[in-house]
Amino acid sequence: MPADATEPVVILPELWQRPEILESLRTRNIGQLFRLIRQHAGASQTRIGVAVNLSQGKVSEIMKGAVQVTSFEVIERIAEGLNMPDPARMTLGLAPRNPLPKPDLRPERASSSQVTPPEAGLPTTYLISLTGASSRPVISGLRHVLSGHIQAEAIMGPPLLINAVKSQIPLIGQVCRVTRGADRAEALNFASELLEFYGWLHQDLGDFTQATIWTNKALDYAMELGDQRIISYVLMRKSAIAIEAGDHGHGLGLANAALANPDALTSRLRAVVLRTRAIANAYLGEAADSARDSETALIEATAGMIQTDSDRAPYCTPAYVAMETGATRLLLGQATTAIPIFEASRSQWAPSSQARDHALFLTRMATAYAMAGERDQACTVTEEAIPRIQALRSSRVAGQLTALRTQLTRWSTDRPVADLLTRLDLLSESFYPPAPRPPEGER
């Protein structure tokens, strides 16, 4: 790699105003944009690639016109990497990074030149006024919001986010209705992702009926899009919901459907589907099949650490698969074999970014120790888990907490364990009940 490869690409503000640059942005001709940046900013293909997180070879293919960039995710990454100013971002069809501040509408500050307060019917009016062209920045803006919601949900659980996500569904539905041409694929992709996430929020609150309804809607968008990777991922999500709802045979069938075309999937996607099938097999008592799927899932997740293709399963790391493998062993009553699996991945967790999964991991590990009769270790890990559980509102964690408490009751006559059980009871009572099911509109 050249010595200057890591130096940032410096683009003068006036370059973004050149007619040929504006034309490349309006037409989303990324190859032309790269060629102009190389010509006017003196940036090599390697430097451009480093800035936008693409290989030099991929930049070369784009510049030659052999590869067309159509994914909003990649376009957004290019805009960020080139430090594109807001006018250029909006010409490209992306939301501005620094939107204009809202006008001060307080009576004592308002003037005749200020915008009047919005009417009560503005949301409906706005939805009706959307066109395919005006939907571009809407999708970009909503994708930023969804990314923040996903990160926040992994830390604090779904209750405080579910209404915010729900409010975006009518908007993205209208976007899909009016968007045509090259942008339609991105609209369908995002709609599928948003509704699948909304289904997940219901699942983690223990409302499997609503989780199924919204995940089915996500699958509708995925099927219209025709992207095998997205279809497979949503089928995996349907499988996971069915398994948690107790329909293990149906969950196994959906996992098999998600793996119907494995060569079309990334390593991480194969891993997350195999992990789901392993859980279904464990519930069905198929120990050998479950073990085989878990072993293959770990191999795929390890390969996924270096994959370059993006997908919807970045969370499916080897540590995550190990946690799920340990869970299958617990379901099969094999606590002594689950413990070394948990211990081997214990140091790989980053609790700040995946707080719920880390709490679930520790609770399962404590359960394994308790099932194996190792009281002191079970209590030690439980003590480690409690602070991480307190801020969460997750039915999955609550369910594992109940299983842990059941295992610890064998030592309830011991004073330290009795105190710990009391604290677990108080913790369980603090969990929010599943959210009520409001009427939901049709797609």
DSSP string, 237-277: HHHHHHHHTT-HHHHHHHHHHHTSSGGGS-HHHHHHHHHHH
Mean pLDDT of 348-370: 84
Going by C-alpha positions, the residue among 282, 258, 393, 391 that lies closest to residue 330 is 282
Range name among 102-106, 143-147, 237-241 with the lowest pLDDT average: 102-106
Tell me the C-alpha distance between 276 and 238, whole Å.
10
Prediction pTM value: 0.71
Mean pLDDT of 96-124: 47
Higher model confidence: residue 67 or residue 136? 67
Look at residue 353 and tell me whether its pLDDT is greater than 70.
no
Range name among 12-16, 102-106, 372-376 with the lowest pLDDT average: 102-106
Mean pLDDT of 223-239: 96
Look at residue 99 and tell me whether its pLDDT is greater than 80.
no
pLDDT for 39: 87
Read off the DSSP letter of residue 111.
Answer: -
Look at residue 4 and tell me whether its pLDDT is greater than 90.
no
Tell me the C-alpha distance between 228 and 264, whole Å.
7
pLDDT for 159: 84
Mean pLDDT of 181-199: 91
Read off the DSSP letter of residue 370.
Answer: H
pLDDT for 435: 43
Residue 10: which pLDDT band, with cuts at 50, 70 and 90? confident
Look at residue 140 and tell me whether its pLDDT is greater than 50.
yes
Look at residue 380 and tell me whether its pLDDT is greater than 90.
yes
pLDDT for 69: 86
pLDDT for 273: 98
Tens of pLDDT, residues 53-93: 888 889 999 999 888 887 777 888 888 888 888 888 877 87
Read off the DSSP letter of residue 100.
Answer: P
Higher model confidence: residue 430 or residue 348? 348
pLDDT for 116: 41
Tell me the C-alpha distance between 271 and 57, whole Å.
28
Q: Residue 10, class by beta-carbon neighbours within 10 Å (0-12 exposed, 13-18 middle, 19+ buried)?
A: exposed
Q: Would you mind telling me the total number of residues written for the chain in this entry?
A: 443
Residue 43: which pLDDT band, with cuts at 50, 70 and 90? confident
pLDDT for 100: 47
Higher model confidence: residue 420 or residue 356? 420
Average predicted confidence (pLDDT) for the chain: 84
Look at residue 268 and tell me whether its pLDDT is greater than 50.
yes
Look at residue 439 and tell me whether its pLDDT is greater than 80.
no
Look at residue 440 and tell me whether its pLDDT is greater than 80.
no
Mean pLDDT of 397-419: 92
Q: Residue 12, class by beta-carbon neighbours within 10 Å (0-12 exposed, 13-18 middle, 19+ buried)?
A: exposed
Residue 433: which pLDDT band, with cuts at 50, 70 and 90? very low
Higher model confidence: residue 154 or residue 97? 154
CA dihedral 222, 226, 239, 154 (to 10 degrees): -50
pLDDT for 216: 95
Higher model confidence: residue 107 or residue 390? 390
Look at residue 252 and tell me whether its pLDDT is greater than 80.
yes
pLDDT for 373: 96
Tens of pLDDT, residues 288-334: 999 999 999 999 999 999 998 889 999 899 989 999 999 999 999 99
